[in-house]
Amino acid sequence: QVQLVESGGGVVQPGRSLRLSCEVSGFTFRTYGMHWVRQAPGKGLEWVAVIWYDGSKKYYADSVEGRFTISRDNSKDTLFLQMNSLRGDDTAIYYCARDGISMLRGVSERLDVWGPGTTVTVSS
Amino acid sequence: SSELTQDPSVSVALGQTVRITCQGDGLRTAYASWYQRKPGEAPLLVLYGNNDRPSGIPDRFSASLSGTTASLTITGAQAEDEADYYCNCRDSSGNHVMFGGGTKLTVL
């Protein structure tokens, strides 16, 4: 069964860093692009970043560009999000999600499998 | 194009038909997908592409596109359909994804 499980969330002070992980199972991870999406309290979904299936391309939302880095380890079926210089408005539930088209040398809007999310709270 | 607009809330009587819309210039050239999000749960893909449904999604859910407006229609809404619904699509670069602000559906 296809499964994504995020971890690494927690409470962190403004300006500090945090690294999120997303372990996957039930499908061939190395053939799918992966996304991070977040939802701040009382707000809607916000796309954060995407990485191609082979890791060769990465794209970010303007709100996190230069502070966050998406990466993957295809040998360990794991996706990462390194978050630096965290701010209060980064407080959110962070979801990893699978791009719904395998072996796509691009990005699709079809996010067909999601993890349960991990909560990040940025507060002093 | 950098924005998708959804009505904040919509209501429907049990068993009736409801349409949720998503408007944005990007929809002229890009497909929209639709997600259902219930409290405490992860988002669930319910529609994508040219009115395609993932396995397990009831056929009362359908999608359409007219110009720059994508629509999700529920024909015969059920109590379990009460949720927030989000649309998304790729932006003009094709390398970023954007979400609409979401529509809270209430089934009366």
Q: Residues A22, A80: contact at Cβ < 8 Å?
A: yes
CA distance B53 to A36: 22
Predicted confidence (pLDDT) at residue A106 exceeds the cutoff of 50: yes
Mutate to test the interface with B, among A64, A110, A118, A119 (most CBs of B within 10 A): A110
C-alpha span between A30 and A67 (Å, rounded): 25
- pLDDT at position A38, please? 98
Share of chain A above pLDDT 70, in %: 100
Whether chain A has a CB inside 8 Å of the CB on B60: the answer is no
Mean pLDDT calculated for residue range A69-89:
98
> Taking 50 as the threshold, does the pLDDT of residue A93 lie above it?
yes
- Averaged pLDDT, A39-67: 97
Write out the two tokens for B70: 């994508």
B2 pLDDT exceeds 70? Answer: no
- The stretch A3-9 carries a mean pLDDT of 98
pLDDT per residue as tens digits for the range B23-76: 999 898 889 999 999 999 999 999 999 899 999 999 999 999 999 999 999 999
**Cα→Cα distances A91→A18, A88, A122, Å:** 12, 6, 5
Whether the predicted pLDDT of B1 surpasses 80: no
Number of neighbours of residue A101 by Cβ within 10 angstroms: 19
Of B105 and A104, more confident: B105
CA distance B44 to chain A (A): 7
Tell me the percentage of chain B whose pLDDT exceeds 70.
Answer: 98
CB within 8 Å: B48 and A112: yes
What backbone phi and psi angles, to 5 degrees, belong to B27?
-75, -10
Distance CA A77, CA A74 (A): 5
Give the pLDDT confidence score for residue B62 in this predicted structure: 97
pLDDT at position A96 is 98
A8-32 confidence digits (pLDDT tens): 999 999 999 999 999 999 999 999 9
Residue A71: strand pairing partners: A80
Chain B positions touching A111 (Cβ under 8 A) are: 33, 35, 43, 45, 88, 97
